[in-house]
Amino acid sequence: MKNISILGATGSIGTQTLDVIRKSSGTINLVAVSANSSVNKIIDIIEEFSPKYVAMMDKKAYKEIKEYCTNNQKSINVYSGIDGLIKVASLDEIDTVVTSVVGMIGLKPTIAAIEAKKDIALANKETLVVAGEIVMKKAKENGVKILPVDSEHSAIFQSLSGYCNKDIHKIILTASGGPFRGKNIDDLKDVTVHQALKHPKWNMGQKISIDSATLMNKGLEVIEAHYLFECSYDNIEVVVHPQSIIHSMVEYKDASIIEKIGSPDMRLPIQYALNYPERKGMIAKPLNFYEVGSLTFEKPDLDTFKCLKFAYDAGKIGGLAPTILNGANEEAVALLLEEKIKFLQIAEIIEECMNTFDYNKEVTLHNVINLDKEVRQYIYEKYN
């Protein structure tokens, strides 16, 4: 039996991880969970899964969960804030931590989990974007596996199994193109948050849905792939594939391509990461080729979807440039969700921050965290 902790248990990936546990015939045991402020969802998890530890990021939510446990005679250890997240990421009895929190907030708990020698089922791509060098180095030093949950990276990981890294020619990341595929800058001037949140293929949380609409999600995934698979940016290509049936591919030096295809269902990569190297039973609907019909491919439009270009730029510059890119993006997406800026301003804000802040500092945890704060503060003061 595998004992796991889920950071961000009430979000989209967290909820689907719970479903994987439900269907695991008792082979996966949920020991700990964390959430930001979703008290009712955590109470449902407590009632169904009886975790021994709960961490709530929000103080008020922490008090409510604590009170619930006292009133209902639940002997659960309840923690709060970032220290609480770190605690549930590094508990003695845990084997694997599913990092499904959204954003750079996942960085400190992920590092704590690696230092405590827990395997990581990585769904928090922002952590690798801002501190890929640090995280991968620590994982190596501690003998920890980083198992990708992101569907594209899981596909690459599976396409690489049995092959040698030196034989890779390039990694091809597929992108659905998001809700605005085929649109140009003029078309996007007045799009609403509501339109941006409507993803054609995947049902996801708000932040990643907006990232998919700007193609920043693919940009972050390019940087994630660079660190996970030690592949240079020139050898990572993005191909728009609206059907989302091919989840990504690896081209080998002889031009052979190995790809992973299947239904667009996140429970598949989650189940694979939690059981690696074993493969478990069928959790998703099997692919019906006759229903899928044709598969199509397009070049991404980098003039319209500038965020993808900025991510490549930041990745190639290296150093702290991805930290600036990510901090600016997280803040800009939050502003869009609050309807304080327009859709196209996300790219403008990122470009402005990339031109304003100095990325020529050493990549240390301290510098990453401080620069991230500075970028956020700058945007906050300007747009609030």
Interaction site with Mg ion (CB under 5 A):
150-152
Residue 276 phi, psi dihedral angles, 5° rounding? -50, 135
| Residue 268: CB minimum distance to Mg ion, A | 12
Looking at residue 268, its amino acid is: L
- 162 contacts: CB under 8 Å, gap ≥ 6: none
Instruction: Give the count of alpha carbons within 13 A of 204, CB side only.
Output: 27
119 versus 152: smaller Cβ distance to Mg ion: 152
Minimum gap (Å) between residue 218 Cβ and Mg ion: 8
Shortest Cβ 377–Mg ion spacing (Å): 29
Q: Which residues contact 217 (CB under 8 A, 6 or more apart)?
A: 175, 178, 208, 211
Judged by beta carbon, residue 45 or residue 104, the one nearer Mg ion is 104
Helices (H), 249-358: 267-275, 289-292, 306-317, 321-337, 345-356
Collapsing DSSP states into helix, strand and coil, what is residue 274? helix
- Contact between 264 and 175 under an 8 Å Cβ cutoff? The reply is no
Given a contact cutoff of 8 angstroms between Cβ atoms, the answer to whether 375 and 328 are in contact is: yes
Q: How far is the CB of 196 from Mg ion (least distance, A)?
A: 17
Q: Smallest gap, in angstroms, from Cβ of residue 104 to Mg ion? A: 17
User: CB–CB of 29/3 below 8 Å?
Assistant: yes
Q: Indicate the burial class of 228 (C-beta count within 10 angstroms; 0-12, 13-18, 19 or more).
A: buried
Nearer Cβ to Mg ion (150/251): 150
CB 66 → Mg ion: shortest distance, Å? 35
Q: Measured from the CB of residue 132, what is the shortest distance to Mg ion in angstroms?
A: 16
DSSP-derived letter for residue 255 is S
What residues form DSSP beta bridges with 236?
171
Nearer to Mg ion, 5 or 176 (CB): 176
Which segments of the chain are extended strands (E)?
Answer: 2-7, 28-35, 53-56, 77-80, 96-99, 119-122, 146-148, 168-175, 236-240, 246-252, 257-261
Minimal distance in Å, beta carbon 236 to Mg ion?
Answer: 14
CB of 81 to Mg ion, least distance (A): 29
Structure token pair of residue 170 = 């390039």
Q: Which is nearer to Mg ion, 90 or 110 (CB)?
A: 110
Q: Which of 65, 62, 67 is nearest to 85 (CA)?
A: 62
Q: Between residues 112 and 172, which has the closer beta carbon with respect to Mg ion? A: 172
Quickly count: other Cβ atoms within 10 Å of residue 345's Cβ: 15
Give the DSSP letter of residue 235: G
Taking the least distance from each CB to Mg ion, the nearer of 64 and 150 is: 150
Q: Which is nearer to Mg ion, 151 or 214 (CB)?
A: 151
Give me the least distance between CB of 135 and Mg ion, in Å please: 18
Closest residue to Mg ion using C-beta atoms: 150
- Residue number with CB closer to Mg ion (138 or 247): 247
Kindly tell me which of 152 and 330 has the beta carbon lying closer to Mg ion.
152
